[in-house]
Structure 1
Amino acid sequence: MVSDVLVLGADQTRSILARVDLSDACATALIELSRGGVSAPARGVALTPDGAMLGSMPGYVPGLGLAAKLVTMSPVPGRPGRSLHNGVVAQFDVEDGRLTALVDAQSITAVRTAMAATLAMRAIGPANPTKIAVVGSGVQARAQIELLTEVACPVVVGARDASAAGRLAELHPQGSVDTIEAAVRGADVVLCCTGASSPVVDRSWLADGVYVSSVGGSHGCPELDAETIADASVCAEWPGSVTEPPPVGAPELQGLDPSEVISLGALLDPSDPQSVMEPGAAITVFKSTGHAALDVAAASVVVAFARENGIGVTIPF
């Protein structure tokens, strides 16, 4: 059977993502995930001797579709903590299984990850933050800052690369640059977006009541220290963040009782009795490992927009 397949390259995918809002689709995917409506196995991972990783992430989300992401993460020689991400999200017809679209995976991954952290911040972070610290200066940090441009408080970027941090800080009307420690101290929201090879935030830098998100650690290295997790109420996208070993699960959450880690979807679901974090913890943490449900959600929005606006190339396949 020949299928007409829509192909969206990196530039086209980025352009669409800058014009659409993923919040509703990502929230729907996370809620369905917490309710058990999503069909998705744990991410499959293949590793090369040089440290590159190929991840496979298929998933079905009711109302949003069927898709699979293949993405590579390759270390940059001589630059510890830096990695290159490349890949594709393939969308399929739910009824007959035809391939319907191929979309750039790096762009999808960056924005859907930043959106998950933003949804968690809205759910469990301070209602009116006075200072937001973004830790990192790469693609993921940029995607996060672009979702903060309308937040009316200072955003301080802390990173090892001061020049790259400066370029990112310019994206926010109240952006500035400092060391990682100085950026984090005094912040009531801390958003970690690094390819960490060791923890980038120390518990002693964090004020009580702070909200922390961590979306790094794809290669199985912790982005947050053990003391931060010990003092925190924790939420994550899925139970496998705790029960699966790294790099599929989160290195910071290994050994925790899975029942003590609430799903982000439950926090977003007003009908769920767990839609409020338990009081008493000094800080709240959202630890992301990524999930196929979010890729399905983001791809559904991007492909629908592309078809409605005549963007991309259609090829027979």
Structure 2
Amino acid sequence: MTAAAEPALIDVHGLTKRYGNRVVVDHFDMRVPKGRIYGFLGPNGSGKTTTIRMLCGLLTPDAGEGTCMGYNIRTQAALIKREVGYMTQRFGLYEDLTIAENLDFIARVYAVDQRPRKVRETLERLGLATRHDQLAGALSGGWKQRLALAACLIHNPRLLLLDEPTAGVDPAARREFWDHIHELAADGLTVLVSTHYMDEAERCHELTYIAYGKLLTRGTVAEVIAGAGLITWAVSGPDLIAVAHRLRQAAGIRSVAPFGTTLHVSAASTAAVRDALAALPFEGLVSEPITPSLEDVFIALMQDAKDNYGETTPGAAA
């Protein structure tokens, strides 16, 4: 069965949300099959958090329809909230309670059956048992992240919504976190995760990328890269800052970005890159075509995106 034919745990169409005269989510569609890790990417202010809050019943869309876990996002928000785990960008548990006390409190909120046993099992599953009596406020960023994930899972949700969950944690903690996420997905849990990290995006089964409230692309990593139609060359040599400045002004160049000691130069055609390089008044440059990375694609997409800050909706007062 293809992803498009699989039952959808999230299936929404035309989601729109306005704050004042500004449209922050603009007729957005999303379909997430059960048991998938779905990456939700976009720059700050792109509408990711607003979309997530509409999906889990915390915000009512101004337009659009759809279902989340089979529940109508407009009329059955309370039912959605009972079966979703939502991990926000900031640590939201009680820092003056221990790890175990925090989990017990969340279990009480959700009226979890056999609460003491469930707390013990969750502590073990997330590797928190040896620290169960440590105050949450004394934890490092990585351990706070693990506790927050445990709190999201204590009531056995069908959908896990993660809003930039690894911001501010070290690479080892991020890797452990993603190991847990893949184990959960293998057990049938559906995960929607927003992230700014390209290595994390590549760990997702599918991706959706939005900018300023509008969908730019979706698909697997391979599909997103192939669909961009991007030609990318690596350029190395002296004076790369000056080289980058000139290339950004060249006709047909979509993006120029430093990657270590090279520049990644992207365009819609090989001819555009070659012409831009040939016109450079610099010596000692070495260039070669490379396969565009996911980051190359997203940088190019952002160059084409239009910032909607300050835009007004049709018919609204300016």
Which protein, 1 or 2, shows the higher relative CO under an 8 Å CA cutoff with sep ≥ 6?
1
User: Quick check: which has more Rg, 1 or 2?
Assistant: 2
Same topology, TM > 0.5: no
